Amino acid sequence: MPLAIPGKVIVFDYGEVISIDPAAADKAALVELAGAETESFWAAYWRHRDKIDQATVSVREYWQLIATDLGLSWDTVELHRLWLADFRSWLAIDPDTLDVLIDLQRGGTRMALLSNAGLDFSSYFRNGLLGEFFDQVFTSGELGVLKPDAKIFRALLAGLDVAPSDVVFIDNRRDNIAGAAELGITGHVYTGAISLRSYLEGLAVTTGHDGTVLSYSSDG
Would you kindly state where each structural domain of the chain is located, as residue ranges?
9-20+92-216, 24-89
Question: For residue 219, what pLDDT is reported?
Answer: 47
Neighbouring CB atoms inside 10 A of 206's CB total: 14
| Burial (CB count within 10 angstroms: exposed 0-12, middle 13-18, buried 19+), residue 101 | buried
Q: Give the CATH number of domain 9-20+92-216.
A: 3.40.50.1000
Closest CA to 144 of 61, 65, 52, 59: 52
Q: What are the start-end ranges of the H helices in the chain?
A: 24-34, 38-47, 49-53, 59-70, 76-89, 95-106, 119-127, 140-143, 150-160, 174-181, 193-201
User: Closest Cα partner for 107 from 191, 10, 11?
Assistant: 10
Coil, helix or strand for 6? coil
The pLDDT tens digits of the residues spanning 160-211 come to 999 999 999 999 999 999 999 999 999 999 999 999 999 999 999 865 444 5
Give pTM, 2 decimals: 0.91
